[in-house]
Structure 1
Amino acid sequence: MLVHICCSVDSHFFLQKLREDFPDEKLVGFFYDPNIHPYSEYRLRLLDVQRSCDRLGIDLIEGPYDFERWMQAVKGYEKEPEKGARCEICFDRRFEVSAKKAQEIGEKRMTTTLLVSPKKSQEQLKRTGERFAKDYGVEFVHVDYRSGGGTQLQQRISKEERLYRQDYCGCMFGLTIQREQQGTIADELFSPLDGNVLPGSIEERLQIYEERLELEASGRDYRIVRQKFLNYRLKFGWVKRKKETLASYILPYSVMKRRYTNGKVEMEMNGLHWFNREEIRLMTLERYNLLSGESYTSVKALVFNPPPFETDMRVREKAGLGLWDLSPMIVLETVPEGKLEILIESEAYRDVREKLVLL
């Protein structure tokens, strides 16, 4: 039986139940989920599904990540709610490819771990699965493992197995709607030009779960714990003088009450230039290099190849800004005289991140 897999939290429990109910069937996992965005989240879920299948002794096939084709398929349905028309189109695509794969490898039956997800409509899944299975000459197996305490058992198993527990379905449209309802930003969709790994980001979690595999392979014990913290994302910003944009580097946790201001430097002290608005601090690239221990030759080089996030936090501290200081700090080649315009669009917000702890 080919089993379409969406994530490890659903698949681990689902595959265990299938083995109990279909002991004579060889189960083959098929990870085909081009709806998952961003790609780092896709890689993280695949990584955890592969770990789960390895623990269960089940072969796993990865389907193509044809995200562009999926986007074309759901065009015009971006604002649809969960379990709406966009989801049905998404099921159509994934089930058709899964049914085709089942036919291709000679499997007579197929099913999907989506059936165990509490956020999905079982009737919608059953209707779509049967339609495409019939088209490709295979049987769609509909099972209900949610009822009778199944959902609670699934959650308990996922904790015992230390599975990656994502907090959104997968697609960027569902994520955006979910974050709007929660009154938070969809920071999962932030992708820095410099490729830096930001605190609380998917990329940070991916590093944690990759390290987790190495620890398990070496027999070392660990825990993945959750930590509340003040997170930060810079959306964009600039500094202008006489309408000319200056090369600038905005350090983390630079927050302005209003996104735009103008003014001038009113004093210089200990290598920091104090702006007369919004508690802004300016420093030269030379000063930044001294505090960071780096040797950048230009602000542009710093922007596109910055040091780790922690280095910038040390620079803020060495410059005299405390741990809880949200004053904007900006690096320029030189700090010019006269009027400057400054725009910073950023967010500082309460968040939760995962941490890997060795025991």
Structure 2
Amino acid sequence: MNLFKRFEEAFMGNYGVPPVALARGEGTRVWDVDGKEYLDFIGGIAVSSLGHAHPALVEAVSRQVATLAHTSNLFLHEPEVLLAEKLLGMLDAPARVFFANSGTEANEAAYKLALKHGRREGRSYFVAAENGFHGRTIGALSLTGKKAIRDQFGPFPVDVRFVPYGDADALKETMTGDCIALFLEPTQGEAGVVPPPVGYLEAAREICDSTGALLVADEIQSAIGRTGHWFAHQADGVTPDILTLAKGLGGGLPIGACVGFGDVGRSFEKGDHGSTFGGNPVSCAAALAVLDNLDLGHVRSVAARLRDGLEAVDHPLLESVRGRGLWLATVLREPRAAQVQEAAAAAGFLVNALQPDAVRLAPPLVVTADEVDALVASFPRILTEAAA
């Protein structure tokens, strides 16, 4: 029985059956179980920051798992302290860290942190963006503005009011002194890699300041160099009250982080929150290796090359390119994203049909100029096959 059939018979149906079964990877290249080679322009959904089998990541994880693999939160260990200190140094602001295992867990921590802080002042509701994505557990799903994945699991335990993303006037109308927090992605990921209008994050910060609400920046996808900055909010000159991280932080190992700035970071007291595996020594060692080996100058250079190359493609199916850094969406004039993904895989490239008319590109941050050029050169043919 082949691997696809075994998967179908062993797993719940929430993923369907993925179209490719991968066996191994090296750098930005992966091979499927039949030996076919692909250039990976998905990066595990913006996770594989250093690519596959990076020597520094392999060495750090191997050394740590052979030394101390798990402690629980009953004991501390040096890798978690080193990682927290490094993140705080990169943020360059007084803050405290909580480590989790994933993005949705980081957002659950942020939700609880904001809830505790806001209820002290008698505040009662949250604001979030339409089409925003913050996770699938119930707290994070409460804040997720995608009806297709949200509505069937309601009602939710908190009042969340959704506004159009990028509309500062809607924020002003919706946010009052009763608002606990505003949850925003600096660029909306699952909505189709949608950057905000110029000045939107600054306006959001000002509205939060004027109402006393907290600003929560969900940087699960956008942080750790993905946009060419360590954290996307830094490019806008905005400091949130709470920041959530995951995906690219561990380079493939599961880790998430919730960072509370200033007094917000001191809101949790002993027993308020926890995680058995959060801050696991192996995941922290992996994250330290990622932060020590990423080159933001390289990211910016190849990101500009990728965007310029794609924007120069003249094809009737391609409408535009949007996004930031090595996190782009090619926007189509017709809902043919699934066909683009299929044609790309046939040509040896892994891309992601994110929306019916948008294809996500989030390659490892070590992707080379030659590999970017290879995708750009093949893209017109991929589009032609997808349009046929």
For the aligned pair, the TM-score class normalised by the smaller chain equals: under 0.3
Say which structure, 1 or 2, has more relative contact order (CA 8 Å, 6+ apart): 2
More strand by share: 1
TM-score, normalising length from structure 2?
A: 0.25
Instruction: Choose 1 or 2 for highest CA Rg.
Output: 1
TM-score, normalising length from structure 1?
A: 0.27
